[in-house]
Chains A and B, each alone.
Chain A
Amino acid sequence: MTANSVEIKNLDLSFGAVEVLKNLNLEIPEGEFLVLLGASGCGKSTLLNCIAGLLEVTGGQIWIKDRNVTWEEPSHRGIGMVFQSYALYPQMSVKGNLSFGLKNAKVPKVEIEERVARAAEILQIQPLLDRKPAALSGGQRQRVAIGRALVRDVDVFLFDEPLSNLDAKLRADLRVEIKRLHHKLKNTMIYVTHDQIEAMTLADRIAIMRAGKIQQLGSPDEIYNRPKTKYVAEFIGSPSMNFLNGDLTAEGFAMDGETVPMQGYKFANGAAPGPAWMGIRPEHVATGDQAQAMPYNADVTVELFEPMGADTLVWTTVAGQPFHFNLDGQHKVASGDQMKIGFDTSRSSLFDKSSEARL
């Protein structure tokens, strides 16, 4: 059994009467890249600040490397943090920014030089060492911010939406770079974002948070294919999942007078018949001849279409309910066209109407 790098036990945090985190538990094994994903206000950044020791928790404990650090100073926790606004000290040079933490820890001068040089090499910022942050580009600033955590030789890296101030192209480049860094350093990393692409591409595991609670914790694959709640299913995937309103019966999923057989669908423990949603990802919908072979198929009329280059998003109605799906980009369609579509019910997701939990 490998040791857990970070362990969060029954964490509570409230500001006055407002509960921000509720009895939160999380175990992160050594070397894992964990992404905290959620809409704004879900408590993901708050959780990260608690781990860093920048917020006083109301209850519960935080362990890092088998040490209870709940009431330790941020600098004594073995964490490094990268902020959304970079938070570089504007009056210090890049070198000064990198060495500030080491100076505070009273590291000998020679060693500071060494560590700064090594970090600069890893991040390829050697030519920038004497510049002030104001003279750096956004991407360079972000690298210096990472370097500040790197020089301190920390156990855990905390990233607080580090890429959201950058433009789309740079974001994609730095995303790859962070991933490369993780492969090289093999540190535990906790990464907060609201961008599902960042989450899917970077994470070993994703924790999807909502209203101060973790809705689902799992690998990107699990989260995409077997979302535990309707919220997770809605949140992950673009374009977002279709939800069809109906009833789960012994024969299958009944809607609008017909029943879709649920062959091959892996029901969760305790799944019971009753009102339910059936979720189908737009990219899992087949058309034409392929549709014919699917457990469910139907003839639909194209109502609207949005060409997006690589593919085309088609809006239509299935069983009297709005429905959309992806079509190969080269496929020419027009409003009013008739099409045959179908999908594999074993790849769909069923959610209970009232609890919104997976069935």
Chain B
Amino acid sequence: MAEIAESVVGAGATPDDRRARSERGFVTGIVSAALIWLAMQLGLNLLFELAGPTGAWVAFLLPWACLAFAVLSLAGMYSTRSGPVVVGSNRLRRNAYGWWLLAAFLLLMAILGESAEPIFDPLGKFGGIIVEFCSDHGLFWGVAAALVGAALVIAGTDTLQANRPGLVERVLVLNLTAKIAAIPMAVVAVAVFLGGTIWTVVYSFTNSKLLPRAQFVGLDQYERLWSTNRWIVSIENLMIYGICSLILSFIIGFTLAALMDQKIRFENTFRTIILYPFALSFIVTGLVWQWILNPDFGVQSIIRGLGWESFTFDPLNNADIVIFGILIAGLWQGTGLVMVLMLAGLRGIDQEIWKAARVDGIPAWKTYLFIVIPMMRPVFITTLVIIASGIVRLYDLVVAQTSGGPGISSEVPAKYVYDYMFQGQNLGQGFAASTMMLLAVAIVVIPWAYLEFGSKNRG
């Protein structure tokens, strides 16, 4: 055993180095076992299974191999321990007991399997989930937890704690409460945001219909997507809506903010009126504007009633301009936000600038255009990212105002995704379409994140 451990941690180095190295090996082993396990649950195993039964075996063994590596590192830790391993007086025994208790529970449940079901009856469905999880994965996680407990006992032999705690202790013991408290965040970040996104991307290459099915068809879904007229219309609409909405909300928002910044009276009243639509949902917004743009009762009929009989303004029933009807409602709802952000940006600018500009005799509009706007670059960029990521999600407004009509002329990608996923029973199309949306957002967000934060990191 000691020789094997020796070969893992390397001979010749000082005991401290070797100890640190084996602790690092242990943590790496456990963490990679967990990550690979998670990846397998998310569909990595499917890729292995493509290679036939051998692949399936590799997929099964890979997490176990990581655990085996952890065991070797554990042996390394044992051979470089700083004192006798006595559990009863160990500094970290309480933590170790906790892990062993968890391990015992998981292993017991794994052995009992489905026969443990009655014990968990009072927990309802959650009990069933626990039983099911343990009978599938209890052995793996039980072994992992037992190993962690053992590692803690070895790390805790240094009863006097004269030296800096090793990696195992730093990861598993220090700040334990904070780490436990952060578990919901970690689970959501990794399992839902990261895992869910990867899962959807992986399954966009399958021919899933009513239920997700792991039958890979390459880029078929994407080919079908881009040859579907409705998707093309959706993309066109989103482009038109997005570009117009970006430009107009910036112009209107900035102009309003500049007007509000002129030391006016009743600033709060004006802001309250201009911003209130933002408090309303897109559904409410869409329905109100559907009513106002109603050709029989709304704007068109009123202007005709004033004597201009031939006046036509019926965007919601005209396939060519329907997206502008939605744009009107979207701008009404969203410009207040842009105005507030811009106003905050204007107020953040050093007031000395205005004095300097006045002393130099520069007219106000020139000061805005050539001095103030360039200074507001960060506000502009953040506003841009916020508006852009909102535009990609455009959905409720269309549903409420036009339901995608007339025909398919006001469809948008988010609606395409929903309809194929939950109405059309064509999951694969929905996954492919949503992956395209993700790609679009990535194209906006990643360069922004890189520009804003990447360069500062390096500097």
| A/B contact in complex, CB under 8 angstroms | yes
- The chain A residues found within 8 Å of chain B, CB to CB, are 57-59, 61, 68, 70-71
Which of B160, B161, B162, B164 has the most chain A CB atoms inside 10 A of its CB?
B164
Size of the chain B interface, CB-CB below 8 angstroms: 5
12 pairs across A/B with beta carbons < 8 Å? A57-B164, A58-B164, A59-B164, A61-B162, A68-B160, A68-B161, A68-B162, A70-B161, A70-B162, A71-B161, A71-B164, A71-B165
Tell me the minimal C-beta distance from B458 to chain A in angstroms: 14
Taken together as a complex, chains A and B put the C-alpha atoms of A70 and B158 apart, in Å, by: 14
Taken together as a complex, chains A and B put the C-alpha atoms of A261 and B162 apart, in Å, by: 54
Q: Mark B157-182, 1 if CB is under 8 A from A, else 0.
A: 00011101100000000000000000
- B165 — which chain A residues lie within 8 A by C-beta? 71
Nearest B residue to A58 via CB reads: B164
Tell me the minimal C-beta distance from A312 to chain B in angstroms: 39
Tell me the minimal C-beta distance from A51 to chain B in angstroms: 16
- A57 — which chain B residues lie within 8 A by C-beta? 164
- B162 — which chain A residues lie within 8 A by C-beta? 61, 68, 70
- B160 — which chain A residues lie within 8 A by C-beta? 68
Taken together as a complex, chains A and B put the C-alpha atoms of A61 and B162 apart, in Å, by: 7
Taken together as a complex, chains A and B put the C-alpha atoms of A235 and B110 apart, in Å, by: 70
- A58 — which chain B residues lie within 8 A by C-beta? 164
The 7 closest A-B pairs by CB, nearest first: A71-B161, A68-B162, A59-B164, A61-B162, A71-B165, A68-B160, A58-B164
Nearest A residue to B170 via CB reads: A56
Taken together as a complex, chains A and B put the C-alpha atoms of A70 and B164 apart, in Å, by: 8
- A71 — which chain B residues lie within 8 A by C-beta? 161, 164-165
Extra contacts besides A59-B164, A61-B162, A70-B161 (9): CB < 8 Å: A57-B164, A58-B164, A68-B160, A68-B161, A68-B162, A70-B162, A71-B161, A71-B164, A71-B165
- A59 — which chain B residues lie within 8 A by C-beta? 164
Taken together as a complex, chains A and B put the C-alpha atoms of A177 and B160 apart, in Å, by: 39
Tell me the minimal C-beta distance from B160 to chain A in angstroms: 7
Nearest B residue to A61 via CB reads: B162
- B161 — which chain A residues lie within 8 A by C-beta? 68, 70-71
Nearest B residue to A57 via CB reads: B164
Tell me the minimal C-beta distance from A287 to chain B in angstroms: 49
Nearest A residue to B169 via CB reads: A71
- A61 — which chain B residues lie within 8 A by C-beta? 162
- A70 — which chain B residues lie within 8 A by C-beta? 161-162
Taken together as a complex, chains A and B put the C-alpha atoms of A57 and B165 apart, in Å, by: 11
Nearest A residue to B174 via CB reads: A56
Tell me the minimal C-beta distance from A8 to chain B in angstroms: 14
Tell me the minimal C-beta distance from A73 to chain B in angstroms: 11
Tell me the minimal C-beta distance from A21 to chain B in angstroms: 14
Tell me the minimal C-beta distance from A55 to chain B in angstroms: 13
Taken together as a complex, chains A and B put the C-alpha atoms of A70 and B165 apart, in Å, by: 10
Taken together as a complex, chains A and B put the C-alpha atoms of A68 and B161 apart, in Å, by: 8
Tell me the minimal C-beta distance from B456 to chain A in angstroms: 16
Nearest A residue to B91 via CB reads: A71
Q: Mark B359-399, 1 if CB is under 8 A from A, else 0.
A: 00000000000000000000000000000000000000000
- B164 — which chain A residues lie within 8 A by C-beta? 57-59, 71
Nearest B residue to A72 via CB reads: B161
Which of A68, A70, A71 has the most chain B CB atoms inside 10 A of its CB?
A71
Tell me the minimal C-beta distance from B163 to chain A in angstroms: 8
Taken together as a complex, chains A and B put the C-alpha atoms of A57 and B162 apart, in Å, by: 12
Taken together as a complex, chains A and B put the C-alpha atoms of A108 and B428 apart, in Å, by: 67
Nearest A residue to B162 via CB reads: A68
Tell me the minimal C-beta distance from A161 to chain B in angstroms: 28
Nearest B residue to A60 via CB reads: B164
Nearest A residue to B161 via CB reads: A71
Taken together as a complex, chains A and B put the C-alpha atoms of A103 and B164 apart, in Å, by: 30
Q: Mark B192-207, 1 if CB is under 8 A from A, else 0.
A: 0000000000000000
Tell me the minimal C-beta distance from B176 to chain A in angstroms: 13
Taken together as a complex, chains A and B put the C-alpha atoms of A61 and B165 apart, in Å, by: 12
Within 8 A of A (CB), among B123-171: 160-162, 164-165
Tell me the minimal C-beta distance from A180 to chain B in angstroms: 38
Taken together as a complex, chains A and B put the C-alpha atoms of A354 and B162 apart, in Å, by: 39
Tell me the minimal C-beta distance from B174 to chain A in angstroms: 8
Tell me the minimal C-beta distance from A66 to chain B in angstroms: 13
Tell me the minimal C-beta distance from B183 to chain A in angstroms: 22
Taken together as a complex, chains A and B put the C-alpha atoms of A141 and B60 apart, in Å, by: 64
Taken together as a complex, chains A and B put the C-alpha atoms of A58 and B164 apart, in Å, by: 7
Taken together as a complex, chains A and B put the C-alpha atoms of A57 and B164 apart, in Å, by: 8
Tell me the minimal C-beta distance from A118 to chain B in angstroms: 34
Taken together as a complex, chains A and B put the C-alpha atoms of A71 and B155 apart, in Å, by: 14
Taken together as a complex, chains A and B put the C-alpha atoms of A59 and B165 apart, in Å, by: 10
Taken together as a complex, chains A and B put the C-alpha atoms of A61 and B164 apart, in Å, by: 9
Taken together as a complex, chains A and B put the C-alpha atoms of A164 and B69 apart, in Å, by: 55
Tell me the minimal C-beta distance from B14 to chain A in angstroms: 14
Taken together as a complex, chains A and B put the C-alpha atoms of A58 and B170 apart, in Å, by: 12
Taken together as a complex, chains A and B put the C-alpha atoms of A271 and B308 apart, in Å, by: 106
Q: Mark B429-445, 1 if CB is under 8 A from A, else 0.
A: 00000000000000000
Tell me the minimal C-beta distance from A44 to chain B in angstroms: 22
Tell me the minimal C-beta distance from A76 to chain B in angstroms: 12
Taken together as a complex, chains A and B put the C-alpha atoms of A178 and B161 apart, in Å, by: 35
Tell me the minimal C-beta distance from B66 to chain A in angstroms: 29
Taken together as a complex, chains A and B put the C-alpha atoms of A70 and B161 apart, in Å, by: 8
Taken together as a complex, chains A and B put the C-alpha atoms of A341 and B256 apart, in Å, by: 72
Taken together as a complex, chains A and B put the C-alpha atoms of A58 and B162 apart, in Å, by: 12
Taken together as a complex, chains A and B put the C-alpha atoms of A294 and B160 apart, in Å, by: 61
Nearest A residue to B158 via CB reads: A71
Tell me the minimal C-beta distance from A143 to chain B in angstroms: 33
Tell me the minimal C-beta distance from B156 to chain A in angstroms: 12
Taken together as a complex, chains A and B put the C-alpha atoms of A138 and B161 apart, in Å, by: 41
Taken together as a complex, chains A and B put the C-alpha atoms of A12 and B253 apart, in Å, by: 54
Which of A57, A58, A68 has the most chain B CB atoms inside 10 A of its CB?
A68
Nearest B residue to A68 via CB reads: B162
Tell me the minimal C-beta distance from A281 to chain B in angstroms: 43
Tell me the minimal C-beta distance from A244 to chain B in angstroms: 42
Tell me the minimal C-beta distance from B86 to chain A in angstroms: 20
Taken together as a complex, chains A and B put the C-alpha atoms of A59 and B161 apart, in Å, by: 12
Nearest B residue to A59 via CB reads: B164
